[in-house]
Every structure is written in structure tokens, then in C-alpha cells.
Amino acid sequence: MFAKAQARCATRTTEICDVCVRAIPIDEAVAMIDLRAAMDELVGKQLAERITPAQLKEIRGLMTAVGLKAEGNAGNASMGVRGNLF
């Protein structure tokens, strides 16, 4: 079955449940992370400019519901997945 996956994909792959997954070089992964960081910053700035008071209240309520504080989470890389939520 792995031979079939290699035949379908031109690059080095791993077959997981019939899904062809391409190996990503480190420099490409770093570029994707940099792009994600730039997009996160842009989206955050646009949100800050456009959010209504009612929307902000709703987001703060959602954050409280999942156990996050509205302030003090920025820049904390150790938060893992929770850091990506808000």
C-alpha cells in the first residue's frame, strides 16, 4: 500500500489512513510559521479596529467560559493550543 502512495506523490511521503502527507523541509516550515505570525498580527489589528462593544463582550464571555483571562495572555508561548484560541 505504501508503494501506491509513493507512486501518487512525487515527494517523500508517509501514508496515514490512505492520506498522502508530504515531508516539509525546515526552511519551508519556518516560512509558514512566519506567515502565520504576520497574518495573526494583521487579523488582530483589524479586529481591534472593527469590533463592536457587544462583540467584545461576547468574546470576553467565551474566554471566561473556557477559563482564559482577557488580559495577560499575549506573548506567552508556553500556552500551547490555548494560546492559539485568543
Find, among 48, 49, 53, 50, the residue nearest to 86 by Cα: 48
**Each residue of 20-73: pLDDT tens digit?**
778 899 999 999 999 999 999 999 999 999 999 999 999 889 888 888 766 554
Which pTM does this prediction carry? 0.48
Instruction: Place 81 in a pLDDT band, splitting at 50, 70 and 90.
Output: very low
DSSP at 1: -
